[in-house]
Chains A and B, each alone.
Chain A
Amino acid sequence: MSALTGTGGLIRLILRRDRFLLPTWVIWIAVVPLGFVGATESLYPQAADRLQYARTTGNNPTFLALYGPLYDTDLGSIIAQRSGFIPVVIGLISALTVVRHTRTEEEAGRRELLGATVLGRGAGLAAALIVTMAANLVFAALLTAGMTAQGLPFAGSLAFGLQMAAAGCVFAAVAGVTAQLSEGAGAARGTALAAVGVAFVIRMAADVGGAGNSLSWLGWASPLGWTNRMRAYDGERWWTLALVAAFIAALVAAAGALSERRDLGVGVLPPRLGAAEAPRRLSGPFGLGWRLQSRSLYGWLAGFVALGVVYGAVAGGVEDMVRDNPDLREIFARIGGSSAITDAYFASVMSILGIIVAAYAVSATLRLRTEETGQRAEPLLATATGRLRWASSHLVFALLGPAAALAAAGTAAGLAHGLDKGDVGGVLPRVLGAAMAQLPAVWLVGAIALALFGLAPRFTAAAWAAVGVFALITLFGASLNLDERVLDVSPFTHVPKIGQDFTVTPLVWLVALAAVLSAAGMAGFRRRDLSAH
């Protein structure tokens, strides 16, 4: 039996399990750059417009940092730059997919069940890598076909698709290695995501000065730098693909060798021992809740600070972008000039922020359900801890966590933009206020999750569906010309927008509704049976 026996069967298993998830991300993310073609063409129809764009927005430091250098002024190059964040996204998705089908399976004990059948030692790793990389290549093919069909040159489109897929494949291979190193799926995931983060920061430092700046060589130290140095639509440098392929091959070989050497269920790095006795603060449900949720809260907070900084730093660029474009400038002049531009910008990014924070609130609330189905709630509720106290130990995170997250993001955004404008005192309260105004809507989403947990515990996943629906309404509702009644379904529609007349009434309603739903959820949970499924 070779190490890869049974890989085919596992590939089918992964495809069966991810039959919705894989096509969803592949198609969904491909739609974004394909949509840029039409949008860019209509915004910058003439060569002169594009030249103007390249001189201003395209070389604005925040754009360069987020998306990478702009190599030329043709349509393809502009789209290639604007798509510069996509490699990060598919790198993250690919890494998560690989960990999900390797270490998570092992941790759950399901791999052991399969390992007893005719299955080679490396089959699990190989199947996860093959499926993830194949998905990336399909993504590349979709992009190539879609860009070519919209009239862009084939060679450039192929390079464009492959540079995206290269990033996905590199981080899939990175996750293949991290999945061997640690004992828990959480650590494997964290290390892989941190690798994406480091690669992004290096690329950002290399590119913030524009193409050919003195730090530009740093880009060669980051896989995300290699991919944009493939220069799609600007004399493609195909040899960078060889570099990427060699790096992937080395990582896969390393992952294979590590998986060959270690036992199932353990990592290469030895697990750290914990304390023999519980510290003072771990004495009750709240101590335990803190222990279980604080790390995730810190992670989210760090992410929100970073997001806030990016929001704030880009705000200045948004003003520039609008100023460069006569059409947009005219639109905003009618609304109220330069400050209206930033207000409109912050209003829209803050509702996106609100939705992401709502996702945190849902995950913090549904931790209750995870603890229940994992049968870890049972021994706790068999002690002198009542149900409401136990539930509160997690709900305190759903209540206060979003407040901290919005405050962190709002402060970061306000400081970044305020420093940029040299007016922290004027900018910070406005931006922070716009962020905090999302809180009642976020609470309402958390309360929906709590009501489901208490009244219909088998359907708690519907809380995620609600987040998805609200996100769709908020992000695309206006541009899709949806009916007002549909827009009103999302609580984020009712949040007062920065720069408009502030009214407290909708916020009061949102809070009241959240309180009613929470009370119903808690009452339901008190009465119902504890269930493992």
Chain B
Amino acid sequence: MTANTPPISVSGLVKTFGRTRALDGLDLTVQAGEVHGFLGPNGSGKSTTIRILLGLLRADAGTVRLLGGDPRRDATELHRRLAYVPGDVTLWPNLSGGEVIDLLGRMRGGLDRRRKAELLDRFELDPRKKGRAYSKGNRQKVGLVAALASDAELLLLDEPTSGLDPLMEEIFQECVREERRAGRTVLLSSHILSEVEALCDRVTIIRKGVAVESGTLAELRHLTRTSIDAELAAPPDGLATLPGVHDMQIDGTTIKFEVDTPQLDAALRRLTEIGVRSLISRPPTLEELFLRHYKDELQEAGL
């Protein structure tokens, strides 16, 4: 693999299960050294994509390259270089958490013992408990410690924090930042927007098996709207006719609206002409970005 080959490169990926088309021409590129957010609601195809990357499922059409190889043909070789955490870690009832961590590490081809001890400590995980005795969150920690204590160059994390409490979520985020500093590549599938917003360099939003948006958060924001909250010197007029202004609410001299980012400049100019007493401007949150792509679905659901 040369330095500029992306660790993950997927194009036109199709996967059907019976009549269901789980992936319908998905494109996904993850660059070396980045933390890439893979966003989508349940059932949008995130786990299916990751399982294809792992060679657990076969692609029906499209090309998939993983670390420069073929995820199915070169599975065992590629798997030495990656670590995976499923969204629902299931353990053997009679194996302790520590045994599972060591076993997965050895089967991958190595485990940093010092890092393992440190991670167990930070995640406050007792490695001596048997699989059946762990709660959902603690099972998830077993999977996380096993993956994070490896020396893998690529981490595939499929909704890894389900069941973790907010404190542990914080520790998870610290760990992912450390991984990035160490130069590792991370694909983080999630539906927790704050997590993705806090961690990811680039984001791909997937919907019904298709990537509907992909780019850095800044790029994505550029494509969308800024919300403005202002108190003006006089009642506003003529604003609604400006291009790119939406959802305007006027209450005396206070005004609330959203504006397409390219038209932000013109809108602000108009406001200062009237006279601005106070102004709050907020870039779109990831949540808003996300919801925009699912708006029609939400409307269908009557929300």
A residues whose Cβ falls under 8 Å from a Cβ of B: 107, 183-184, 186, 271-279, 282-285, 287-288, 291-292, 374-376, 378-386, 527-530
Contact = CB atoms under 8 A, between A and B. Distances in A.
B79 A278 contact: no
Contacts of A272: 130
Contacts of A527: 58
Contacts, number: 119
Given A271-B133, A282-B102, A385-B107, 19 more contacts: A183-B132, A271-B129, A273-B128, A273-B130, A275-B96, A276-B98, A278-B99, A278-B101, A282-B103, A292-B94, A379-B84, A379-B89, A380-B107, A382-B54, A384-B77, A384-B109, A528-B58, A529-B57, A530-B56
B79 A384 contact: yes
A529 B128 CA distance: 34
A519 B100 CA distance: 31
Nearest to A285: B107
Nearest to B84: A382
A139 B222 CA distance: 76
Contact of A276 (B89, B127, B132): B127
B80 interface: yes
B11 interface: no
Contacts of B91: 376
Given A183-B132, A292-B92, A383-B108, A283 B103 contact: yes
A274 B79 contact: no
A384 B80 contact: yes
B96 A382 contact: no
A181 B51 CA distance: 40
Interface of B: 51, 54-58, 75-77, 79-80, 82-84, 86, 88-96, 98-104, 106-109, 127-130, 132-133, 143, 146, 156
B98 A275 contact: yes
B99 A275 contact: yes
B56 A282 contact: no
B77 to A, nearest CB: 8
B79 A382 contact: yes
Nearest to B93: A184
B90 A282 contact: no
A374 B90 contact: yes
A494 to B, nearest CB: 38
Contacts of A381: 54-56, 75
Q: Is the interface of A mostly helix, strand, loop or mixed?
A: loop
A345 B12 CA distance: 67
A274 B109 contact: no
A271 B130 contact: yes
Contacts of B95: 274, 291
Contact of B99 (A274, A285, A376, A382): A274
Contacts of A386: 75-76
A274 B129 contact: yes
Contact of A382 (B56, B100, B128, B133): B56
Contacts of B76: 384-386
Top 10 nearest A-B pairs (CB, nearest first) are A274-B96, A278-B102, A383-B107, A382-B84, A273-B128, A278-B99, A276-B98, A383-B108, A530-B56, A283-B106
Contacts of B96: 273-276
A382 B76 CA distance: 8
A379 B143 contact: yes
Contacts of B79: 382-385
